[in-house]
A and B are shown apart, each in its own frame.
Chain A
Amino acid sequence: MKVSRKWVWIVSLMFVFSMVMMGCGSGDKNNGGNTNQPSETAGEGTKAPEDKVSITYSQWGTAEELQRVQELLDQFMAANPNITVKLEGKDWGSYWDGLTANAAGGTLPDVLKTSYAFIEKYAELGIFKELDGLLGSNSFPLADVDPSLLGLHQYQGKQVSMPIDANVIVFYYNKGLFDNPETNPKGAVYPGMEPTWQEVADIATKMTLDANNKNPGEDGFDKGSIKQWGLSLVPGSTMDWFLEPMLWSNGGKLINDDGTLALDTPEAQEVLNYFIDMTKNSNINTTPAQMEGLGGQANLGITTGKVAMNAGGSWNTTHYKEAGITYGITHLPKFKTTQTVVQPAGVAMSASTKHEAAAYKLLSWLAGSDGQTALAKQGFSIPANKQAASAYLETAGSEFQIFLDAQQYGIVSPFTVKKTDLVWTYGEQVMKNPLAGDGDLAAAIADLASKIQ
């Protein structure tokens, strides 16, 4: 008997020991969802909470982008000393899968960044808190935000997310490459402010060089030894922010009003074939394989110093500055009309947050005039709140006026769950290579059409 008791002791000690060890790994979790902190009610939110509260904010981004977010959060914490915000930075590729895992695991961040493209898909699961009540009781000045932006962050007529920026897609060129005779032996000029594709293709032809500095179309041009490309576009994997406005520019569409795929119209076909031709036959645009070789991100092509022009978001100026590129900006090239996409990101609250008051404080700060002005002053994002527009222009100066001008060219094409899946799940797999002339386009379109039925 004595022996056996000793046994129980040893084994239980062992387990206690192991549990304690484990505790070290997760001891300082203060928002794990399974902690027993008393939850605050919205009513208390109107007066500053007495106790110190710690909440999490989750957002995607590159290292530079996350650093700027941290700066914003530092300002928020300075203004709200009772609230500590912990930033959970992710990369875009794993952000949404991670959110699913968090939702399942009860570890959703209190406040999280949203993209209008994913609102419906995740709102369906009920993971976002409905904000109408909170916004109303705290009298958030909704009039400061454009109704169309607000609309993109609603689910079934209810506000589930607040837009914080009005990022827009434009067209960039690497001035350094144009200005240097070694990389621009044919003396190509910068593209104009609202260039046509014909104009851009001509420039791209001059800026595409093989090992012997020959351009495509010249005698002896060797497409196997291209050392500099005019363009880096991968329409198949950038369907929402590049291909769709280009289809609209030619009078076509990506998706019909009834939700079916609209890529078989003559207008759409013309656009698709134009990109195929530029990539496969004219060799003035990177193939997906070449893009992969350059790091895989079409909107960062010019940062490699190997690409003259690419389409990109207003947020990409961060990356170009980081890479030391002097760049110029124009509107997206047009087939018939100038078009672009406004991509309002937003912030939402977790439906299961235990710190509702603090979370709302952060959300309303980020979406309100203070946070939006702070964001605007950083000069890398276009604020969604009108109160911050002047601050943005002051900081950004005339250089970024184009981002505001571009808003008027934005297409109106809201996201449904099907469109989210089409663009982010199937499109890249099915369309990437065919839109570069590698594979059967008609078959790919038929395949895609069947997937979103």
Chain B
Amino acid sequence: MNVSYKRSKAASKALSYILLIGVLALFTGPLLWMLSTMLKTKAETYKYPPSLFPETVTFEAFERLFTLQPLMWQWIGNSVLISVLVALGTVVSSSLAAYGFARFDNRAKNGLFFIVLITLMIPASVMIVPSFVLYTKLGWIDTWLPLIVPAWLGGAYYIFLFRQFFMTIPRELDEATYLDGGGRFTVYSRIVMPLSKPIIITASIFAFVYSWLDFLGPFLYLKSSENYTLSVGLQFLIGQTSQDFPALAAGAFISILPIGVIYFFAQRYIVEGVVLTGSKG
């Protein structure tokens, strides 16, 4: 009995690893293929059967990429700047609104917060062409304003995130501040925000990452190539050199690099952010 139990346990363990390796291959395989492709010569990418590893490793693809598309650096810069501004704006505006919803006793509060929750359910792409009209009227087409300003005016998702966290901060601390003569904003800036560092980090990483990943917005609103973000720039690149597989792979690699680095250093916060909204939503 003991032997067969052990054997079945070993078998199930082996099966687990086989499945795990299969899942690992699914998730990392395409990324590895990208790495392999970008280090090949152009000719080697037209070979069948394809070679798993480059015959000779070369960085020519990067040279071609940056000669063909000298704007690459600028796109990276644009993406970083936009994403940082989005993250900053998201934290400031959403935490303010969330504080309002978490700490005030107001007749309108519940109704308004319900609207916040409803807008979480609004499909973004239904709004994207109508919003385009708004931006044309504002003269914001081909500027970064449509990408950044909305972030400074609160996002339902982040308001929800902050509110959930603020609710866990004991109100006794507020009362102590009021007794010392502080007002609402003192409580927000001196008590609540300093205690909310984890959620601030999570929200800013999230906002940064989602702004970095955004394609549809920049694709519709940005028209001249020096205003592009990396995502739209990459799409432009596909249209320009659809046959240069190594250069395309190199471009993809560059677009992943910054986020990949953030992920490996800030994995914990990303995980927390998703879990917080997912499990309580």
Contact = CB atoms under 8 A, between A and B. Distances in A.
B220 interface: yes
Contact of B239 (A18, A33, A94, A104): A94
B153 to A, nearest CB: 9
Contact of A300 (B46, B136, B225, B243): B243
Interface string A4-22: 0011001000110010011
B139 interface: yes
A26 B145 contact: yes
Contacts of B264: none
Contacts of A98: 223
A419 to B, nearest CB: 23
Contacts of A56: 224
Interface in B127-181: 132-133, 135-136, 139, 141-145, 148-149, 152
Interface string A91-133: 1111000100110111100000000000000000000000000
A336 interface: no
Contacts of A266: none
B46 A22 contact: no
A73 to B, nearest CB: 14
Nearest to A99: B223
A441 B259 CA distance: 47
B152 A18 contact: yes
Nearest to A7: B185
B230 interface: no
B43 A107 contact: no
A105 B145 contact: no
Given A89-B225, A91-B236, A296 B139 contact: no
B136 A18 contact: no
For the residues of B in contact with A, the DSSP-based class is helix
Interface residues of A, number: 45
A14 B88 CA distance: 11
Interface residues of B, number: 41
B145 A25 contact: yes
Contacts of B223: 88, 98, 101-102, 105, 107
Contacts of B235: 94
Interface string A133-154: 0000000000000000000000
Interface string A29-49: 100111000000000000000
A21 B85 contact: yes
A7 B238 CA distance: 49
B82 interface: yes
Given A88-B225, A107-B142, A294-B46, A62 B241 contact: yes
In this complex, which of B81, B185, B223, B225 has the most chain A Cβ atoms within 10 angstroms of its Cβ? B223
B243 A93 contact: no
B181 to A, nearest CB: 10
B49 to A, nearest CB: 9
B45 to A, nearest CB: 9
A93 B239 contact: yes
Nearest to A18: B152
A92 B239 contact: yes
B183 A305 contact: no
Nearest to A226: B48
Contacts of B240: 62-63, 91
B251 to A, nearest CB: 12
A158 interface: no
Contact of A304 (B46, B144, B238, B241): B46
B243 A29 contact: no
Contacts of A21: 85, 148
Interface in B206-255: 220, 223-225, 227, 235-236, 238-245
A79 interface: no
A227 interface: yes
Interface in A294-318: 294-297, 300, 303-306
Contacts of A7: 185
Considering the complex of A and B, which 5 residue pairs feature the smallest CB-CB distances, nearest first? A91-B239, A105-B141, A295-B243, A34-B139, A25-B144
7 contacts: A22-B148, A26-B144, A32-B139, A102-B223, A105-B136, A106-B141, A303-B243
Interface of A: 3, 6-7, 10, 14-15, 18, 21-22, 24-26, 29, 32-34, 56, 62-63, 86, 88-94, 98, 101-102, 104-107, 225, 227, 294-297, 300, 303-306
